[in-house]
Amino acid sequence: MKNLIAVLLVVMVSAGCATKDEQARNNISKTWRISKVFQNGSDVTTAYIQTHVDYRLQFTASGLFTEQYKPGTGETQLNISGTWVFSDGVNKVTLTDANQTRVFAIDALDKEVLNIKDLGSTNNREIQFVPAS
């Protein structure tokens, strides 16, 4: 009887983890736009958006991402693509493209919000995203 309970407990815990991972993957799999940007605790949204015009970040459920923006008004759009994975459970997301790997701590993730901290920044950059319309 103890063995049966132990097996059921392991199955329930495993199923719970898979559900959390699947939910996070479903929530992140869409196109996001910047809502707010903070550096060292200060709101720098306006200045940041001036160098990331029409910024969009798209995640697919299959582990691909595309980042698109113009580095200034009237400039040619940049397109960066690569792969993404959750790490540290679903507490971090790692983006890898042809030039670099970036790691972000996830502060909030649901269907309506994605808040991340850039772990590679020297200015404690935090970006808040909402779904793109």
pTM of the predicted protein model: 0.84
Distance CA 55, CA 73 (A): 12
Residue 7 pLDDT > 60? no
Per residue in 15-28, pLDDT (tens digit) is 555 588 899 999 99
Per residue in 31-40, pLDDT (tens digit) is 999 999 999 9
Angle at 45 between CA 40 and CA 51, to 5 degrees: 105
Per residue in 91-120, pLDDT (tens digit) is 999 999 999 999 999 999 999 999 999 999
Task: Return left, alpha or beta for 124; rule: phi > 0 is left, psi -120 to 50 is alpha, else beta.
Answer: left
CATH code of domain 2-131: 2.40.128.280
Angle at 69 between CA 67 and CA 72, to 5 degrees: 155
Task: Kindly list the domain boundaries of the chain, sorted by start residue.
Answer: 2-131
Distance CA 64, CA 120 (A): 21
What is the DSSP track for 86-118?
EETTTTEEEEEESS-EEEEEEEEESSS-EEEEE
